[in-house]
Structure 1
Amino acid sequence: MTYVINQDCVDVKDRACVDECPVDCIYEGPRMLYIQPDECVDCGACEPVCPQEAIFYEDDLPEDSTGYLAINAEVFASIGSPGGAGAHGLLTDDHPAVSTLEEAN
């Protein structure tokens, strides 16, 4: 089980969750933040500090956001578990489903 960031983060990327995460598992892509599911320890520290309310425990994802469980995991398919967002730096690409979304106003 893991926490998941949904579409409410797209084009916002507040980063309060990044500062709160004790294991540095929240990575920044060009348009949104992603939680690396293998690095997440399910502490929940990120969820209450998100001003967009874009972070959910996997079992609590709203029905219209269930695809973001796979989106968060698939972003790491090619890079695996880098061992911390701070050491890895920015992700070069967003998930294709995020890249093709219309820009938020």
Structure 2
Amino acid sequence: MAYVVTENCIKCKYTDCVDVCPVDCFREGPNFLAIDPEECIDCTLCVAECPAEAIFAEDDVPENQRRFIAINAEMAKVWPAITERHEPLPDADDWNGKPDKADLLER
């Protein structure tokens, strides 16, 4: 079971989670992070580090966020690995917690 980044990461892209990942399974897109389900070892370290509370165990992804399981797997194949923390997007705090951001995901 892999962990999944969900909608609240969109337009925030905090990278605190990247620093604690022991296997570098995060992938970076323009305004979202994804977890490579093939690389994730289910260590749970990233969950507590996410300021947006956007990371869930696959079995615990809320029903309205289940499409992000496939989005993470799809984007993990094309986006580059991110292995170091960097600043979030400039207006991340303004977007954190805003609902209905899925259409804003830049692939």
TM-score (norm 1): 0.75
Gaps of 5+ in 2: 84-101
Gaps of 5+ in 1: 87-99
Counterpart of 1:85 in structure 2 is 82
Aligned length: 87
Once the two structures are superposed, what CA deviation does each residue of 1:36-83 show, in whole Å capped at 9, x if it has no partner? 11010000100011011000000000111000000000113457xx7x
| % identical aligned pairs | 47
Whether 2:29 is the aligned partner of 1:29: answer yes
Instruction: Indicate the structure whose relative CO is greater, using CA pairs within 8 Å and at least 6 residues apart.
Output: 2
* Mapping of residues 1-105 of structure 1, within 5 Å: 1-77=1-77, 84-86=81-83, 101-102=103-104
Runs of 4+ with deviation above 3 angstroms: 76-79
CA-based RMSD of the aligned residues comes to 2.0
TM-score (norm 2): 0.73
Change (3 A) 1:30 1:42: same
